[in-house]
Homo-oligomer: A and B are copies of this chain.
Amino acid sequence: MSQHRGRLAGFIIDCQATTDLDDAACFWSQVLGRAITPSDASEDAGYVVLEDVAGEPHIELQRVTHEPRVHLDIAADDVTAEVDRLEKLGARRVESVRDWWVMEAPSGHRFCVVPSD
């Protein structure tokens, strides 16, 4: 049976394309005391993942075209069911990207529903 509930997967620090993503990652790495996890995978282009720390959420940086933001990622075993649930709570679908959905909360905050690992 699918888990029809989300869980907090982590936070994404959205950085504008005018900001050097490596510089931004270096800053946040030092603020949070987390190493940068290097990746050469093509699907990771535009992303920098910070090392996970026990008891703290997953954090990564992402290059975006909009203003700087921090957004939540909600993980679900069944993304479609979770998107439906959140829509009933008042969120709206913004865009489907690869295997996740970008949504907007009634409070105006963008967040993503992503598949559980």
Within 8 Å of chain B (Cβ to Cβ): is A38?
no
Separation of A111 and B117 alpha carbons in the complex (Å)? 29
Number of copies: 2
Shortest distance from the beta carbon of A53 to any chain B beta carbon, whole Å: 8
Chain B residues whose C-beta falls within 8 Å of the C-beta of A68 in the assembled complex: 107-109
Contact of A28 among B7, B15, B16, B107 (CB under 8 A): B107
Interface residues of A in 1-47 (CB under 8 A from B): 5-8, 11, 13, 15-16, 19, 23-24, 27-28, 30-33
A107 touches B8 (CB 8 A): no
Residues 73-117 of chain A, each 1 if its beta carbon lies under 8 Å from chain B, else 0: 010000000000010011100000000000001111101000000
